[in-house]
Amino acid sequence: MLNPELKLNPNIFEEPEERPIRDGYGDALLELGEKNPDVVVLTADLAESTRVHKFAEKWPERFIECGIAEQNMAGIAAGLGVSGKIAFISSYATFSPGKNWETIRTTIIYNDANVKIAGHHSGIVTGPDGATHQATEDIAIMRCLPNIRVISPCDYFEAKKATLYSADVYGPFYIRFVRDKTPVITTEETPFRFGKIECFWLPKTEKAEIAIMATGHLVYQALLAAKELEEEGIDVYVFNVHTIKPLDEEKILEVASKVKGIVTVEDHQVQGGMGSAIAEFLGKTKPTKIEFIGLQNTFGESGSMKDLIKKYGLDKEAIRNAVKKLISLW
């Protein structure tokens, strides 16, 4: 069942409201602009797509259009970030942090600049844009950097809360957003605790043998899988891993100590992603059987969100099968 303590959307399994996760980012920037004059926003010719156009209209003196020059955008933001400003840089994740990764590394991260990197159109669910615009490696290239925090929100409300939180903490953040509308899982009352994983689905009994750990919009698919598994008499946990770096190591270890296996779920390559981060930690603390749901060493292609999730094995059916595969091992 849904964890009642977290005040999640009770209509998630019927006809849930759908909103673009990226809208949470844009709305948070409007709120930040009102209360903090040090907030500045930069983009690389993608103001509307990254939802910063409303900020630009309201505070043009605090908005910088860098054009198609992602490295330059990162460099400008780094200077602002070490000069008392809170800089948000916005582009498609394939370009930022993809194209400008070295500039981010050297000018922002190395200098501990107060810059928040918003990677939009992440994962394969970018519809007709295809592989060139589908960032499925961004978690890997960002979490390997020292001194950065990485967040992958599950829905609109979590994206808004994560953006607001990042402005209150000095230093570099990477926040990952998807383009299309996705089900709203949380509510305004659902707590957002940076650095903590949240148990969204509780088993009926204490005999659950599998924990599903999902991130981003695929938390919804994990919840659908958990509901169907429960109807089949299989109890599982579902955790929302919105903070990928730093990992909630204490809770992950606690969970691994009471289950027999873990299924990780992410719209990202399985190499280097959230699942890899969990496996790296458990490999040195409590070796655990893990099934990895994600892109299996392949690029995506053009298509609808529903078709792509199905084709690349990221949907509820793939998650259910992974749970059953783990259970069959003992």
Residues designated catalytic = 70
Angstrom distance (rounded) from CA 77 to CA 62: 12
CB 148 within 8 Å of CB 173: yes
Q: How far, in Å, are 27, 206, 242 from residue 330 at the CA level? A: 48, 18, 30
**What beta strand segments (E) does the chain contain?**
18-20, 39-43, 63-65, 86-92, 115-120, 149-151, 173-176, 181-183, 198-201, 210-214, 236-240, 243-245, 261-269, 289-295
Angstrom distance (rounded) from CA 322 to CA 242: 21
Q: How far, in Å, are 9, 68, 219, 223, 263 from residue 96 at the CA level? A: 32, 11, 24, 30, 29
Cα 91–chain centre separation: 15
Q: Which of 324, 120, 124, 138 is nearest to 245 (CA)?
A: 138
Per the DSSP assignment, residues forming a β-bridge with 19 are: 182
Per the DSSP assignment, residues forming a β-bridge with 290 are: 262
Angstrom distance (rounded) from CA 191 to CA 240: 12
Residue keyed to tokens 């043998």? 209
Angstrom distance (rounded) from CA 215 to CA 7: 18
